[in-house]
Each structure stands twice: as C-alpha cells, then as structure tokens.
Chain A
C-alpha cells in the first residue's frame, strides 16, 4: 500500500525557513510516471498548490508564482523522500501543508499534471514568534 508520511516542525519563527519532509513507501521518488507535490491549505487562501518535483530522465521542479524565489523542493533518492523548504516565512504562511502525488505526463516539454490521488496526513505549521 502506497503511503506518504510527513514530518517536520509545527512552529516556525517569522523570517526563518519552514522545512518539511514527505517519506514515500510503496512507490519511488524517482518514478518516471509521477510527480511529487506540496500543497497547503489555510482559511484565507484555501487549497493552494506550491510546487512539485519529478524525474523524467533528469530532475525537474515547478513552483507556484506566489512562492517562487522562496521555495525549494528537493528529492532524496537515498531515503526515498522529498522535502519542502520555504524561506523568509511570515504569518501569511501559516497553514496545513500536504504532500501529494499525481500521475501527469510530459507533453511537448511541458509537464501536464493529473489529479492528486495520494496525500500525506498534513502538517499544521504556525508562523509565530
């Protein structure tokens, strides 16, 4: 059974870096068939896709415009997991963060994503001093 297990701190100070990890069991972070995503949810912003990493002969990353410049998503093949780092956080980044999988395809040099069929359990992250 494929599962995603999230870990990371629930409290981050303003201006610091939010770091979360999503461990994959039953699938591979290096799979050529899927992408690994981070999504967050807050009352003010609803469900918001943040970014993804995927392997198609080489590693690719795509990021949401709203967090570009502050976000890094990295695969860790040795541990079969992927991580989220969000820099310079503010209280606006307070949310429940989820990792998720999709079975998208690479079409004409562009990744065309699919629905998110598998989700982690979620991590509530509060940005506060």
Chain B
C-alpha cells in the first residue's frame, strides 16, 4: 500500500503570502492519480486538484498542483482569508482506492 506523507504539518503564513505544501509517496504513483482536498472545520473535504494539476470546477487559479513520481506540490499563489484550512493529498486509481495523507494545516500567522 502506498503511504503519503505531507509536510509541513502546519504552515503559518499571512494573507497575501505564497503557500507551498508537499506530499511525498512511499512509491511512485505515476503522473496522473494524485488529488488535493481542502477541509475547513465542520465541513467535508472539497476537491481542489485532480490528475496532479487539473483544477476542479470552481476552484480559483491561485491554486495549482504539480509533481510526478513520488513528489507532489500544492501551491497557493497568494493566500486569501478563506484559504486557511487543512489540506490533504490522496492517491487514487488503484483498486481499492489509495490512502490520504495526514494533512497540512495552513494557519494565519
């Protein structure tokens, strides 16, 4: 089973700053089957990025995903107040579905 490790655990930034979140897989997941989700307190996760770099419907272009193999990155170019949340990466496409990372919390500095 592929294990996803996210870093850092917590990212303390100010609105307007750039956020870079990392997701490392224990073995190659290829270049396609990696997603990112955003979760706010009391809410379900929301799909941000699928296929490593494709934005889901309605997701602003300040969110971008990149990477391949075992190293993936979610970048938020300029943090808006509503972006402070927990972010999860997920490997999918296998059967059964892959696991989620443990999450990175982006908090206001």
Q: Contacts A114-B50, A122-B44: A46 and B95 contacting too (C-beta < 8 A)?
A: no
* Interface pair B44/A114, CB less than 8 Å apart: no
**B69-104 at interface with A (beta carbon < 8 Å):** 88, 90, 92-97, 99-100, 102-103
CA A37 – CA B45 in complex, angstroms?
14
User: Which chain A residue shows the least CB distance to B92?
Assistant: A113
Say whether A14 faces chain B, with CB atoms less than 8 Å apart. Answer: no
* Interface pair A112/B95, CB less than 8 Å apart: yes
Q: Which residues of chain A have C-beta atoms less than 8 A from B11's C-beta?
A: none
CA A112 – CA B92 in complex, angstroms?
8
Q: Which residues of chain B have C-beta atoms less than 8 A from A115's C-beta?
A: 35, 47, 50-51, 56, 90, 92
Q: Which residues of chain A have C-beta atoms less than 8 A from B102's C-beta?
A: 46
User: Which chain A residue shows the least CB distance to B44?
Assistant: A119
Report the tally of A-B residue pairs with Cβ distances under 8 A.
64
* Interface pair B50/A62, CB less than 8 Å apart: no
CA A119 – CA B103 in complex, angstroms?
18
* Interface pair A46/B44, CB less than 8 Å apart: no
Say whether B62 faces chain A, with CB atoms less than 8 Å apart. Answer: no
Q: Contacts A113-B93, A114-B92: A119 and B100 contacting too (C-beta < 8 A)?
A: no
0/1 string, B46-65, CB within 8 A of A gives 1: 11001100001100000000
Please give the distance in Å from B4's CB to the nearest CB on chain A.
10
CA A1 – CA B18 in complex, angstroms?
33
Q: Contacts A46-B103, A115-B50: A110 and B44 contacting too (C-beta < 8 A)?
A: no
Q: Which residues of chain B have C-beta atoms less than 8 A from A116's C-beta?
A: 35, 37, 45, 47, 90
* Interface pair A121/B44, CB less than 8 Å apart: yes
Q: Which residues of chain B have C-beta atoms less than 8 A from A120's C-beta?
A: 44
Closest 7 CB pairs of A and B: A119-B44, A115-B35, A115-B50, A47-B100, A113-B97, A49-B97, A117-B47
CB pairs A–B below 8 angstroms (22 shown)? A47-B45, A47-B88, A48-B99, A48-B100, A49-B96, A98-B44, A100-B44, A102-B97, A112-B94, A112-B95, A113-B92, A113-B95, A113-B96, A113-B97, A114-B92, A114-B93, A115-B35, A115-B51, A115-B90, A116-B35, A121-B44, A122-B44
